[in-house]
Amino acid sequence: MIAPWAQIDLAALDRNVRAMRAALGPRTSIVMVVKANAYGHGLTPVARQAARSGVRWFAVAYLHEALHVRAVCEDAEVVILGAAMPEDVRTLIEHRLTPIMVDEEHGRALASAARARGAVLRAHLKIDTGMGRFGVPWTQAVSAYERLARESGLEISGLCTHFASVEPRKPSLGPTQMERFREIDAAIAHRAATPLFRHVSSSRAFLTQPDWDLDGVRPGIAAYGYGARERGMRVETEPLLQWRTGVMQVKRVPADFAVGYYSTYVTPAPTTLATLAVGYADGYSRALSNKGFVLIGGKRCAVVGRVSMNWITADCGPDADVAPGDEAVLIGAQSGESIWADELARLARTIPYEILTNIHASVERHYISSPSLPIL
Ligand SMILES: Cc1ncc(COP(=O)(O)O)c(C=O)c1O
């Protein structure tokens, strides 16, 4: 059967984790973000490999993801970035998972659920320093902390925030957010019975602001090989995921041949068209209609016509030596040429995060590992 499939290189993940680890001081942990199915790479194999590569902290969006991490990593610390539900407190405690309190009311509801079970729940407090999403507003953070710290059933073990923007060479909100966080941290520090685990930096801040490392950094996209190839970044990481499919049909066509729904592409000259097994149902963005490229036989071929549900058409040129069953690369490298998710993102006017997380769960993932790594 010809169908799209993804290849994930766990040896590259190992190299990325080690490169990030080497950039950090000994007091800072990597809190690897593995939400959204590890950015499309597959949560279980990625978390397992990351743990083997030395990652001790993971961040997810939901409880079910946290349980997947726990299943492969008995001793990891797992933080849940979304608003965990009070009715899940028993599971949180049983599996030693750490929710993040997204506001004071959420914290109180979690505390009350833990109290009702005669238990104590460890949780981190999120401060909204300017992202405007989750968190206690920074102006109320110290008093909210004091009130929550008095709640029985709750142990506040960490403090965090999330940056709206961090731009090393342009104005951005990041530095102001960091100032706000530092003030709150200083005010809270002498009130806390034990030191809090403080984590603020996602990939962009980790890559560009070493002074903001604190106790943990929360890289996501950098661990998967993106965002770290720009000039001046603190470490370089490499993409793990390649996405491939096969040619289903080949057609030699004359000039003025219309392709796809609404005939949005008409061949300017005789050429060879290849129909490939991938479409928007698999996560290949419709925004790549008449914009994307694929690699066939080591050559870049334009995606022509509209991306449809299950198929796309590539223009391979008049003299192309292409046949049904040939491999086509959607993301990745072939014979020295490459197309990575950041290039596709630019062409589709989006971000590599979306390109990667949109690869449908039904697309088979094949995991490869170098001989020096444990077989998974
Ligand atoms: C709260 C939080 N921290 C960290 C991250 C990781 O961000 P990045 O992939 O840019 O490193 C995310 C990603 O969405 C996030 O929501």
Looking up residue 263, the CATH number of its domain turns out to be: 2.40.37.10
Q: Is the CB of 111 under 6 A from ligand 1?
A: no
Contact yes or no for 131/164 (Cβ under 8 A): yes
Give the domain range for residue 261: 241-368
Predicted pLDDT at 375:
43
pTM score of the predicted model: 0.96
Are both 40 and 135 inside the same structural domain? yes
Q: What is the pLDDT of residue 315?
A: 98
Q: Is 126 a catalytic residue?
A: no
Ligand 1 in contact with 219 (CB < 6 A)?
yes
Residue 357 CA to ligand 1 centre (angstroms) = 13
213 and 247 both lie in a single domain: no
Q: State the amino acid at position 86 in one-letter form.
A: P
**Residue 284 bears catalytic tag:** no
Query: Residue 65's Cα: distance from chain center in Å?
Result: 13
List per-block mean pLDDT (blocks of 10 residues) for the chain, which spans 376 residues.
96 98 98 98 98 98 98 97 97 98 98 97 98 97 97 97 94 97 95 92 97 98 93 93 98 98 98 98 98 97 98 97 97 97 98 98 93 50
Same-domain status, 115 and 210: yes
Q: What are 300's strand-pairing partners?
A: 295
Q: How many domains does the chain have?
A: 2
Atom of ligand 1 nearest to the CA of 353: 9
> Distance of alpha carbon 152 from its chain centroid, rounded?
35
- The pLDDT score that the predictor gives to residue 371 is 55
What is residue 376's predicted lDDT score, i.e. its pLDDT?
43
8 A C-beta contact, residue 277 and residue 4 = yes
Residue 220 CB coordination number (10 Å): 21
Using alpha carbons only, give the angle 280, 281, 284 rounded to the nearest 5 degrees.
Answer: 35
353 three-class SS = helix
Give the CATH number, domain containing residue 140. Answer: 3.20.20.10
262 and 337 together in one domain: yes
Q: How far apart are the C-alpha atoms of 280 and 278, rounded to whole Å?
A: 7
Q: Exposed, middle or buried, 171 (CB in 10 Å: 0-12/13-18/19+)?
A: exposed
pLDDT for 330 equals 98
| 72 within some domain | yes
Q: What is the model's pLDDT at position 372?
A: 55
What is the DSSP annotation of 54-77? Answer: T--EEEESSHHHHHHHHHH-TT-E
Looking at residue 317, its pLDDT comes to: 97
**Could you tell me if 186 and 265 lie in one domain?**
no
C-alpha closest to that of 237 among 9, 20, 10:
20
Q: Taking the mean position of all CA atoms in its chain, how far away is CA 188?
A: 31
Question: Which of 142, 31, 158, 134 has its CA nearest to residue 83?
Answer: 134
283 in the same domain as 171:
no
- Interatomic CA distance for residues 153 and 149, integer angstroms: 10
**109 & 145 share domain:** yes
Same domain membership, residue 209 and residue 64: yes
Cα of 201 from ligand 1 centre, angstroms: 8
pLDDT given for residue 351 in this prediction:
98
Same structural domain, 249 and 357: yes
Indicate if ligand 1 lies below 6 Å from the C-beta of 47.
Answer: no
Closest CA to 126 of 171, 183, 184: 184
pLDDT at position 373: 53
Ligand 1, atom nearest to 206 Cα: 11
Asked if residue 237 has its Cβ within 6 Å of ligand 1, the reply is no
Closest CA to 303 of 322, 329, 340, 281: 329
Q: Which ligand 1 atom sits closest to the C-alpha of 222?
A: 11
**In-domain check, residue 231:** no
Q: Would you say residue 162 lies in a domain?
A: yes
> In a mutational test of the pocket of ligand 1, which residue from 202, 207, 209, 212 has the highest number of ligand atoms less than 8 Å from its CB?
202
For 325, the 3-state DSSP assignment is coil
Q: Which is nearest to 315 in space by CA: 273, 255, 268? A: 273
Is residue 96 assigned to a domain?
yes
